[in-house]
Amino acid sequence: MSKFRHIQGRKNEKDRILLYNEKAVSFEDIAKMCIFMMMNEDNVYPRPKYRGRDMFVDYMKEVLDTGKIPNQKKYQLGKKELVKV
């Protein structure tokens, strides 16, 4: 089962609500995730040696400009398995 799905909204026939694990996602939720990602990128890839949050900002700008998920190789994406401590 996907973590994300959308359902019919209430405003009109084209309105959709994005659910994550069956809970509606708000603009504030997205903003909190973006702030977390920027801060984490700065921690993992500190400036000036690395680009830190700038890489995340560029990624999101491409998403917003194109309406598509960018090529993962361009942004060196890929999750490694999390190590449980």
Cα end-to-end span (Å), the chain: 27
Dump pLDDT digits (tens) for 38-67: 999 999 999 889 999 999 999 999 999 999
Tokens of 27: 């603009």
In the structure, what pLDDT confidence band is assigned to residue 71 with cuts at 50, 70 and 90?
confident
Tokens of 61: 């700008």
Asked whether the predicted pLDDT for residue 83 surpasses 60, the reply is no
State the Cα–Cα distance between residues 53 and 42, nearest whole angstrom: 5
Listed in sequence order, the DSSP H helices in 1-85 are 27-44, 53-66
Q: How far from 19 is each of 27, 33, 60, CA to CA, in Å?
A: 12, 15, 20
State the Cα–Cα distance between residues 58 and 68, nearest whole angstrom: 13
